[in-house]
């Protein structure tokens, strides 16, 4: 049985059979905007059914399954995270946290049309705020993308925090 894939936002659609570098850039900026605006259902629609969101605990970590990570979530866990963020009884989100992504120009490290694999690396600053508290993370996001049903989709999103070995508070949202 195959899982149905939700309709992606318009910026994820590509005109031809293969994405251009501009398509990849537009996709990444569009994804950040969805997160900043709290449009989580549209954000979840960007992922393939077998996708993962990975935030390594250690710099240069190579295995999310055999080494502890800050998070390594499949679509089931991402949906639970989104439900928790929207939940009426999620008291840690009263008032709700907000975030802002400031992206540098993404690098396109791989455009393999035959394998249907497109890899980008985007340095960014991520700001999260709630009430009087605000914190800044410097991160690098790697996206492994694929084209499915005429749209770009995320197979893996890896977010490396530059100072991952420092102590920091809870990250409520998603860099």
Helix (H, G, I), strand (E, B) or coil at 145: strand
Pick the more confident residue, 142 or 171: 142
In a domain, 25, yes or no: yes
15: pLDDT confidence band, cut at 50, 70 and 90?
confident
4: pLDDT confidence band, cut at 50, 70 and 90?
very low
In a domain, 167, yes or no: no
Which residue range forms the structural domain that includes residue 28?
A: 13-87+96-161
In a domain, 7, yes or no: no
With beta carbons less than 8 A apart as the criterion, state whether 84 and 9 touch: no
In a domain, 128, yes or no: yes
With beta carbons less than 8 A apart as the criterion, state whether 92 and 169 touch: no
In a domain, 171, yes or no: no
Segments of 57-104 assigned E as strands: 69-74, 98-103
Q: What contacts 24+ positions apart, CB below 8 Å, involve 132-140?
A: 133/169, 135/168, 135/169, 137/161, 137/162, 137/163, 137/168, 137/171, 137/175, 138/162, 138/163, 139/175
Per the structure, how many domains does the chain have?
Answer: 1
Mean pLDDT value across the chain: 91
CATH code of the domain covering residue 42:
3.10.450.50
Closest CA to 48 of 161, 174, 152: 152
In a domain, 121, yes or no: yes
In a domain, 35, yes or no: yes
Structure confidence by residue, pLDDT tens digits, 83-114: 988 877 776 777 888 999 999 999 999 999 99
In a domain, 66, yes or no: yes
16: pLDDT confidence band, cut at 50, 70 and 90?
confident
* pLDDT score recorded for residue 3: 45
6: pLDDT confidence band, cut at 50, 70 and 90?
low
Structure confidence by residue, pLDDT tens digits, 123-161: 999 999 988 888 899 999 999 999 999 999 999 999 999
* pLDDT score recorded for residue 168: 73
Helix (H, G, I), strand (E, B) or coil at 54: strand
With beta carbons less than 8 A apart as the criterion, state whether 71 and 53 touch: yes
């Amino acid at each position: 049985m195959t899982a149905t894939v939700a309709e992606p936002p318009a910026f994820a659609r590509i005109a031809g059979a293969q994405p251009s570098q501009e398509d990849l850039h537009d996709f990444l900026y569009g994804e950040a905007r969805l997160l900043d605006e709290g449009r989580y259902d549209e954000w979840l629609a960007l992922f393939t059914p077998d996708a993962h969101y990975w935030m390594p605990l250690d710099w240069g970590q190579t295995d999310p399954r055999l080494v502890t990570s800050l998070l390594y979530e499949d679509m089931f866990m991402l949906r639970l995270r989104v439900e928790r963020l929207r939940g009426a009884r999620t008291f840690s989100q009263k008032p709700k946290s907000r975030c802002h992504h400031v992206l540098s120009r993404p690098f396109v490290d791989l455009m393999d049309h035959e394998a249907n694999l497109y890899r980008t690396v985007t340095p960014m600053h991520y700001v999260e705020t709630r009430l009087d508290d605000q914190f800044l993370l410097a991160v690098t996001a790697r996206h492994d993308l694929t084209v499915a049903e005429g749209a770009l989709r995320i197979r893996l999103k890896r977010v490396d925090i530059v100072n991952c070995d420092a102590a920091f508070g809870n990250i409520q949202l998603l860099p």
